[in-house]
């Protein structure tokens, strides 16, 4: 099986894109995959702050103990500290990512 994608700059040709009935790879749209990841994090207990810009980390010796940032839409700044007892994941999406 051959698949051709052409957005104008150059054609992209893929051959043998599946093994049996299983596709070799999947490329979900970022908007949908981001929503799935955010929702799963919220359901697991994470706090989600859309439009929040982390400007710096707060340090105590060699440990991060919080963040300093601001809400980009409201223009309000804040500082948050917390005792981190497990893994921390910061999901960052840049403008062009």
In a domain, 20, yes or no: no
42-89 per-position pLDDT tens digit: 998 888 888 888 899 999 998 888 899 999 899 899 999 987 676 666
Could you read off the pLDDT of 35-54 as tens digits, one per residue?
A: 888 899 899 888 888 888 88
Position 84 in a domain: yes
7 lies in some domain: no
Note whether 24 and 17 are within 8 A (CB): yes
pLDDT above 60: residue 96: no
The answer to the question of residue 70 being in a domain is yes
Domain of residue 62: give its range.
49-97
> Could you give the number of structural domains in the chain?
1
In a domain, 85, yes or no: yes
> 91 pLDDT band (50/70/90 cuts)?
low
Indicate whether 77 belongs to any domain. Answer: yes
- 38 vs 2: which has the higher pLDDT: 38
User: Is 15 a domain residue?
Assistant: no
Residue 90 included in any domain: yes
């Amino acid at each position: 099986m051959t698949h051709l994608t052409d957005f104008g700059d150059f054609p992209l040709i893929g051959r043998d894109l599946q093994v049996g009935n299983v596709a070799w790879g999947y490329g979900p749209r970022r908007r949908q995959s981001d929503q799935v990841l955010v929702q799963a994090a919220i359901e697991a207990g994470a706090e989600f702050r859309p439009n929040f810009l982390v400007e710096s980390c707060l340090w105590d010796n060699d440990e991060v103990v919080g963040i300093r940032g601001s809400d980009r839409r409201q223009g309000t700044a804040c500082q948050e500290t917390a005792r981190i007892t497990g893994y921390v994941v910061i999901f960052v999406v840049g403008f062009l990512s």
